[in-house]
């Protein structure tokens, strides 16, 4: 024990205690999460595992004994932000060499060796399927001399689902629940199958157990997550069955999900959405491009015409449905005419929301092996045109809602005016209205009276 204390002179007193820290006074951990909702869910799973080993959590890297960066690389900007934060941690490590720095997630999986070589102060690198190893790796690191080589754990595991772990919920009425991990689509621009592995579905009972647990903690709005939820399969049950089973649980007011794939979404799913009052009329259906040739180059196995058919059926089977999408401009070899096909598709569909990006090459993808030949200035110009179009469409679609009545789930006080409640409609439009005796988590009938930007101001109905 003398030797252990000597090696860890820079740690807090609690971090020098033997493992595990079953009294809950273990080292302090700070987790910074970048990227998608899946990463948020993963970080909550990590917190649960570390809490079971006695770790505590704090609000900043400066006060932590362990700093973990959960990274994303689906877009270049997310990767750059995460690696930029990693560079900032170098000074913290110099100030306290015994502080443990860990890199987790998709960047860790894809660039594991590179991270250890270019950032020698990093102590552990852990991929998305190896989070169970974190308590062991941290223990090993704490008893190693400062300056020891970094520890690496990035094996992709077909059987890892974390389905026996209840993620650590941070309060509030909304929560994410992962139902399927990995992806088998191998879109030519996407690194996810290389960083998160192949598709595997959680057992339905474990999903229901987690949702029931969240409901007992005050959660009323659940979003089911997966890279492709439509691929969900468990003992004869498909995603529509899973969605209906969650919606049937007591205590849950709303159920949402993302993301669907145009190749796999079924009329059964749309009919389930339209037939259940708790399932939100909101569909995120990434189109990526409006040109059939570019879709083939992207390895998106559907056509523009097939996609538009889904939109037609969705609007018929789910009354009042709101649609959102993802779009990439400037994919390699995209011509001006092919971009115009994307522009015209967005004008035809008239999405309520769209997430638009210029193409950025991702390592380990098929597209990274072909020339990124669309000039950046052209990408920027195309993106600006799409954003301008979508903002106009979104405003017009919001204006159509003025004067209508709807139900708002109260999420909390409005950020800019604490005398107002903030919440969302079933189709995910933000709303504020004056407080009365309601509580967070209540459903309130309102009339949508006016718009400020993209936020509705509403009045309560009797």
Q: What is the mean pLDDT of the segment spanning 308-325?
A: 98
Phi and psi angles of residue 71, each rounded to the nearest 5 degrees, phi first: -105, 160
Over residues 73-107, the pLDDT tens digits come to: 988 888 998 888 888 899 999 999 999 999 999 99
What pLDDT was estimated at residue 77? 87
Instruction: Enter the DSSP assignment of 249.
Output: S
Over residues 14-25, the pLDDT tens digits come to: 444 445 555 667
Contacts of 414 (CB under 8 A, 6+ apart): 420, 421, 422, 432
Please determine, for residue 1, whether its predicted confidence score (pLDDT) is greater than 50.
Answer: no
Q: What is the mean pLDDT of the segment spanning 28-38?
A: 94
What pLDDT was estimated at residue 23? 61
Please determine, for residue 442, whether its predicted confidence score (pLDDT) is greater than 60.
Answer: yes
Pick the more confident residue, 357 or 85.
Answer: 357
Q: Are 296 and 188 in contact (CB under 8 A)?
A: no
Q: What is the mean pLDDT of the segment spanning 275-287?
A: 98
Please determine, for residue 6, whether its predicted confidence score (pLDDT) is greater than 80.
Answer: no
Please determine, for residue 9, whether its predicted confidence score (pLDDT) is greater than 60.
Answer: no
CA distance 287 to 274: 22
Bridge partners of residue 255, in order along the sequence = 222, 279
Over residues 364-416, the pLDDT tens digits come to: 999 999 999 999 999 999 999 999 999 999 999 999 999 999 999 999 999 99
Residue with tokens 């570019």: 294
Please determine, for residue 5, whether its predicted confidence score (pLDDT) is greater than 80.
Answer: no
**Which pLDDT band, with edges at 50, 70 and 90, does 31 fall under?**
very high
**What is the secondary structure of 193-241 as a DSSP string?**
HHHH-S-EEPPHHHHHHHHHHHHHTT--EEEEE-TTGGG-EETTEEHHH
Phi and psi angles of residue 192, each rounded to the nearest 5 degrees, phi first: -55, -45
By the 10 Å C-beta count (0-12 exposed, 13-18 middle, 19+ buried), 295 is classed as buried
The span from the first CA to the last CA of the chain, in angstroms, equals: 68
Mean of the per-residue pLDDT values of the chain = 93
Residues 181-212 as b/e (b if ≥16 CB within 10 A, e otherwise) read bbbebebbbbbbbbbbbebbbbebebbbebbe
Q: Are 159 and 202 in contact (CB under 8 A)?
A: no
What pLDDT was estimated at residue 15? 43
**Which pLDDT band, with edges at 50, 70 and 90, does 148 fall under?**
confident
Please determine, for residue 341, whether its predicted confidence score (pLDDT) is greater than 70.
Answer: yes
pTM: 0.92
Over residues 102-147, the pLDDT tens digits come to: 999 999 999 999 999 999 999 999 999 999 999 999 999 999 887 7
What pLDDT was estimated at residue 279? 99
Domains and CATH numbers, the chain: 28-153 (3.40.50.12160), 404-460 (2.40.50.140)
Pick the more confident residue, 4 or 204.
Answer: 204
**What is the secondary structure of 294-329 as a DSSP string?**
HHHHTT--S-HHHHHHHHHHHHHHSTT-EEEEEEEE
Alpha helices in 302-437 (DSSP H): 304-317, 336-349, 376-399
What pLDDT was estimated at residue 59? 94
CA distance to 37, 160, 175, 179, per residue, from 182 (Å): 14, 10, 20, 10
Instruction: Enter the DSSP assignment of 68.
Output: E
What pLDDT was estimated at residue 21? 57
Strand order in the sheet with 174-178: 174-178, 221-225, 254-258
């Amino acid at each position: 024990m003398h030797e252990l204390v000597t090696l860890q002179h820079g740690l807090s007193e609690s971090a020098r205690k033997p493992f595990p820290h079953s009294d809950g006074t273990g080292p302090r951990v700070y987790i910074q999460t970048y990227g998608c909702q899946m990463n948020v869910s993963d970080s909550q799973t990590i917190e649960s595992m570390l809490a079971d080993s006695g770790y505590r959590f704090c609000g900043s890297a400066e006060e932590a004994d362990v700093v973990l960066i959960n990274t994303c690389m689906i877009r270049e900007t997310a990767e750059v932000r995460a690696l930029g934060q990693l560079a900032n941690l170098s000074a913290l490590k110099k100030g306290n060499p015994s502080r443990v720095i860990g890199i987790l997630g998709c960047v860790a999986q894809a660039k594991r060796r590179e991270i250890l070589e270019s950032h020698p102060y990093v102590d552990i690198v852990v991929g998305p399927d190896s989070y169970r190893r974190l308590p062991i790796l941290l223990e090993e690191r704490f008893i190693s001399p400062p300056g020891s080589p970094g520890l690496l754990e990035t094996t992709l595991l077909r059987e890892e689902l974390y389905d026996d772990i209840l993620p650590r919920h941070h309060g509030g009425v909304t929560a994410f629940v992962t139902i399927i991990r990995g992806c088998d689509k191998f879109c030519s621009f996407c690194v996810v199958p290389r960083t998160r592995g192949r598709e595997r579905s959680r057992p339905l009972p474990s999903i229901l157990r987690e949702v029931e647990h969240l409901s007992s903690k005050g959660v009323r709005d659940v979003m089911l997550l997966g890279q492709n939820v439509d691929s969900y399969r468990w003992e004869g049950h498909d995603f529509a069955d899973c969605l209906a089973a969650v919606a049937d649980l007591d205590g849950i007011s709303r159920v949402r999900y993302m993301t669907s794939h145009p190749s796999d979404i079924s009329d059964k799913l749309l009919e389930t959405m339209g037939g259940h009052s708790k399932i939100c009329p909101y569909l995120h259906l990434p189109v990526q491009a409006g040109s059939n040739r570019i879709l083939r180059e992207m390895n998106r196995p559907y056509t523009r015409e097939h996609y538009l058919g889904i939109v037609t059926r969705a609007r018929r089977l789910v009354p009042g449905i709101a649609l959102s999408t993802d779009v990439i401009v400037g994919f390699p070899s995209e011509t001006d005419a092919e971009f115009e096909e994307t522009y015209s598709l967005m004008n035809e569909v008239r999405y309520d929301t769209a997430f638009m990006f210029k193409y950025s090459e991702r390592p380990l993808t098929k597209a990274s092996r072909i020339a990124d030949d669309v000039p950046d200035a052209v990408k920027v110009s195309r993106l600006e045109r799409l954003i301008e179009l979508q903002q106009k469409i979104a405003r017009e679609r919001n204006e159509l809602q003025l004067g209508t009545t709807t139900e708002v789930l109260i999420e909390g006080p409005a950020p800019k005016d604490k005398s107002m409640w903030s919440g969302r409609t079933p189709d995910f439009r933000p709303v504020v209205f004056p407080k009365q005796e309601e509580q967070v988590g209540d459903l309130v009938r309102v009339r949508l009276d006016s718009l400020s930007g993209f936020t509705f101001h509403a009045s309560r109905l009797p």
